[in-house]
Structures are given as C-alpha cells and as structure tokens.
Amino acid sequence: MKKFIVVLMAMALAIAFAVPASALDIKVNGQWYMAGWYANNPSLLDKDMPSGDVTRTSPRTVGADVYLESARQNRASIAFYTHKLRLNTTFQIVEGLALKTQIDALEAVMGDATWAGGAAGRASQQSSSRTSQGASGAAAQESIEFEAAWVDFKVPFGRFQVGYVPNGIGFGTAFLIDPYTWPTIRFDTQMGPLNMFASIFKIREWRNSDAFLRGGVTASGLNTDADSDAYRIGLVYKMKPGEVGIMYELWRDARAKARAGLNLTTGTGALPGALIVYNGYNDITAGQWGIQPIGTQGWVTQISTVNPYFKLTLGPVYLEGEGYYRFGKLRRYETFTAGNVQQPDIDLAAWGAYLQARATFKPFYVGGIFVYMSGDDLSKTDKATGSIAQLMGDNYAFNPCLILWNFDYVDAMGWTTGNIPAYMGNPRTLGSYQNTRYMDNVFFYQIYAGMFITPKLDVVAKLAYAYADKKPRMGVGPLGTVLTQNTTNPALAGLRNREFVSDKYGTEFDLLANYKIYANLTYTVGFGYLWTGDYFKGYDPLAVVKNNYVVMHKLNLMF
C-alpha cells in the first residue's frame, strides 16, 4: 500500500508539472534601474532672488515696457534618487498565439511623499488619495501599472496584434520615440524582406458626454464623433546592410468640438478647472485652451504625417536617419448655430529631420548627431509651421544630453522653467516653451567620441549646441500689437505681443563612463555642464541666467 501511495504521488507530481509545461510557456524580460542625481542649478536662473515679492509671477513694468519675472522656483541645488522596474511577459499559449503584457512598478523619485500628503515622522506614507496617474505635485509615478496587454497571433496571411500595444513596434530610430501604449488593432504581412503593416489606434474616447465636457452646459450633438483616432500604413524593407521604411499616419482629434460656444472669460458655461482637455497625445488642463470669443465654434484637428527612416552599416560606419512632414489642419472650425463668430482655419506644415553617423575603430568610436524640428512662425495667423512635438508626443525618450531634453532628468526634476512662466506656451499648438522632455523648435548639433578602455569599461564625451528655429512669442500676429482674449491666455490680455530675448538654448558638455559589472548589469557615472543660453530669459532682457551642472550615477539591469 505504501509503495502504491508513493507511486501515485509521483505520477500526480509528474502530471502537475507536465500539463502546464505543455499548455503554456512563460517568458519574462525587462529592466530595473536605480539612479542618483545632483543638480546644482535646475532653475537656470541666478540663485539670488531679484528684489520684490518672492512669489511674484505677475508682469512687472520697467520704463515703458512689460516684462515677466519668474518666482523663486527651484533656485537651489537638489539631490534625489529615482527608481523603476519594468516587466515584459510573454504567455505563449500555442505556436503562433501569445498574450503579452508590460508592467511598470515603483516608478518614482524615491522617498517622494508629495503625492500622499506627507506622513508624521517615520510613519507610513498616506496613500488613500493616490491615483494611478499621480496626484498634483508628484514628480513621477509611484505605482504598479499595466502599461500594455495584447494578443499576438499569426494567421495564414499575416500577423495580428490586438489590445493595448506599445507604439512604434519595429519601426524607426530613436528619433520621435515615445513610451505610449494605445488601444490598437495592427496587421502585418511579410513578403520576403518586405514587411507591410496597417493599424488603427483609439487614442481617446469621449463617449458623447457633452454635459461633462461642457461643465454641465447641455449642447446636444456638439461632440458627436468627438474622439481622437489615428490610422497608419507602412512598409519596412530589410537588407544585408540595414533597413529602410516609410509610414503614413492620419490623426483626427475632435475633442475640441465640445468647447463650442463657451464663454471662458466670464465663466458662463466654463469648463471645470480640473478637467483634462484638448491636446492630442498629451493632456493639458483647461487653463491652456486657446481662448475664443463667445459663440465660437469648436474645432477638429486633422494631421497627416509622412515619416521615412533608414539604418545602414557600411564597414566600420553606422548611419541612421529619420524625418517627417506633417500637414493638414491644426484647427478646422465648425459652425454649430447661425450667427456665430467664424474663426479662420489654421493650417499646418511642419518639418523635421534626424541624422546620426558613428564610426568604430576599436577601441575608439566617434560620431555626430544633427536634429532639425521646425518652430511655429506666429507672424502667420492662418498657418502653423511647427512647435508640434508636444502635441504629437514626439521625442519623449530621445535623450541626447544629460540636461537638455533628457526625460530621466526632466521627469524627476520637472520641466526647466528658466524665466518662462508655465502658463505661457504656444497659443496654437499649446506646447510649452520651457525645457521639456519633448525636443522641438530646434537646430541641434552634437559630436561625441568614446573609447573602450577595457572590454567592460567605456568612456564617452559629448559636446552639443542648440538654438531655436523660431523665437517664441506671447501671441499670434505682429510684434507690438496689444493681445486680446481671442488670441492668447487671458492672463496676457492687454499686454503687447513680445518675442523671446534670444533663440540660444545653450551649449552642453557631457562625460559618461559605463562599467559592466555583469553582462546584464551596468553601472554608469555621468557629469553634465550646461552653459545656459539667453533663451531661458524668456521675454525679460533684465533676467539673469546662470549655468547648471548635474552629476548622476545609475545601476541598470537588463534581463
């Protein structure tokens, strides 16, 4: 009997282990990192506060002109740690059928309790009011989030990916890259070295809730079909030296139809202050709408993008490049009742290009990067010519420098304000003029050189210089004209349309050393120094900008 029980238990164990193995194969990979940062002068301004109220953000008058002076935000050095865990899991059901997920956990400035309302002494942080997107003032998310979940399955004529799918799979370079996931239906079909794909994205769903969108003011039918959707088709051709590809995207965002007829200046039918509203891929609060007069129509954004790229390896030289041309309607106004104020449509024509060349002569390597992204010429009242990256979500993770447009630094530190008030962005594209994670309106040049001192240790030095394609302005139209509520933020009404003091972002030197502790575990030490350009004076020639430097170190595990 005892032998029978032992044999029975052995058989049960064998079945328990064998059945899952035959039905499901689970593969996990991902990334973990922890980084420490010290920033000497994140404000990029003189640390000595100018005379006057330390909380001043309102205009001040000097002589016969008006300038804008920032408050004492971030006018001190700061040190902090950041942390993140990302898990990519593939559940292989059967051959050709898989469920894939992407999870981010504990993505945070370590020890940051601003989202939780603080805690007494060494007590636990209060998290009762925590949301997955972070509360006001949180520098980075601190959560466990399912970023993506989708089914990947093959059929005789191709492959489908359906669900919440990471954007940009298998297309392009590091330029224009972003971390977004959207509800997606994507189909790929392969013909030898040529891959053809088509996809549909549901970027935002409004569900025709116009009472909500209009702050309780009912206007039946105004936001019918007021969603945000995108459609793509593309080709990628792979060959021995590399690959080339081209993609066309049509994006239609109709959420702003629902703001038709609102009087945002008197409060009649005003949008609630906490409402997240218009801006295609990145939400912006109600206070940053382009303000329109009473009775104005809502608008629809419809933008087409042609996006080619290439990657080539020619002996010791690696080349890659990517570009875009965006055209269509930034705002196509729609009339909802007779007698409304008819606003002219705003067309769009924006360009961008990225090139990188790298030559490797072991143990040395050298390279260079060039980026151009057109700015918006606000003297043209009926056509936007750029400053579109934040609206489109471009370049979130491009990371060319340690300070300028570095998403690791900026996400944790916050956007570099300089002397540029947060509420003063482009009145048409709604993009911020501050140093954000979205590189835009720029001529950018960088050269770098590195050396593998040992197989495990390499050191690289980078030198970059950047300036704006177009100087930002307060409003649309000729310089010197008085701004009104119809063209810009109400806080600027009555001020004269002014232009930034300078287009120079500055010059940055970066030095980084990477040491492989294990094949998958790397320790990085970096130093970055920014000679701050007068761009960060904003509109005030009397502002004083100062240089900034950062020191960072990072432990990065890839598995």
Q: What pLDDT score was predicted for residue 52?
A: 37
DSSP class of 470: S
Its sign, for the CA torsion 236, 153, 205, 147, is: negative
CB of 428 within 8 A of CB of 382? no
Encode pLDDT of 307-321 as tens digits.
999 999 999 999 999
Its sign, for the CA torsion 306, 395, 225, 382, is: negative
Encode pLDDT of 219-276 as tens digits.
445 556 778 899 999 999 999 999 999 999 999 998 777 555 444 333 333 333 222 2
Encode pLDDT of 151-206 as tens digits.
999 999 999 999 999 998 889 999 988 878 999 999 999 999 999 999 999 988 86
Encode pLDDT of 314-365 as tens digits.
999 999 999 999 999 998 887 655 555 667 889 999 999 999 999 999 999 9
Give the HSE-up count for residue 318: Cα atoms under 13 Å, Cβ half-sphere.
11
φ, ψ for residue 518, nearest 5 deg:
-130, 175
The pTM for the full model equals 0.84
Q: DSSP states of 430-463 as a string? A: --BSSB-SS--SEEEEEEEEEEEEETTEEEEEEE
Instruction: Provide the b/e sequence for 252-270 (b: ≥16 CB within 10 Å).
Output: bbbbbbbbbbbbbeeeebb
Q: What pLDDT score was predicted for residue 121?
A: 59
Encode pLDDT of 475-504 as tens digits.
888 888 887 654 445 566 677 888 999 999
332, 470, 462, 523 alpha-carbon torsion, rounded to 10°: -40
pLDDT at 285 over 50: no
Report the alpha-carbon distance of residue 359 to residue 77 in Å, rounded: 38
Its sign, for the CA torsion 197, 301, 150, 88, is: positive
3-state secondary structure of 374: coil
